[in-house]
Structure 1
């Protein structure tokens, strides 16, 4: 019996990297003029309009700033899902979250690659936040 994998499309794949050491990192732009950091990466600073930017990567862990449980998804999104603002290496990013409830502020998370929706029988995959249960246990 053969098992076929569903079709998969990666969303925003220019915005993240899976290093050989594992994990997931986001691509960010650092402005060398005003010091602001931006995600997704860009070619001009959204604060001072400088083109003097350095392209960098974040680490693969962050902290939940705020989170919301969406109970009525539409279109390609699941019927119920959690979105969280994650602070990661001086940038705040909105992302889908591997949880069935909103995260408490300051919850440690790891970046992972996972399904964020489905459109026309094609799974949509991108970066996600996954609560870091090991770190949470060690902080108790």
Structure 2
């Protein structure tokens, strides 16, 4: 089996090494390729060690062969049927507070209608809004001081 491997062919190999980014698979006694972690399974793989172990026999599809360097990119998931996609219910309405950036504290008063309609405010828009609020508060304080 030593010789030129063609892109698109499916061959059997043996896992020879595992790194956090993928697994090395020996195709024959001279050639080996890399299965990137994103090509190990159809779903998200957090830890490749949960999916593969050194010595495992695997079917791999050849994705690419670099003629100059001899590097071979492989995929295990391309040899497996795609799982049927189950539809997840999508959240209705605004989605709620996810606690992301800019989500802390009270929501600015006034302009709440605009914020909901627009959905995303640039930093420049936020700064203008904060300056306006600050000026309103300062004007209110000045009125109280004059009394």
Q: Which has the larger radius of gyration?
A: 2
Return the structure number with greater relative CO, CA threshold 8 A, min gap 6.
1
Q: What is the TM-score of this pair, normalised by structure 2?
A: 0.31
TM-score, length of structure 1 as denominator length: 0.32
Structure richer in helix, relative to its length:
2
Write 1 or 2 for the structure with the bigger share of strand.
1
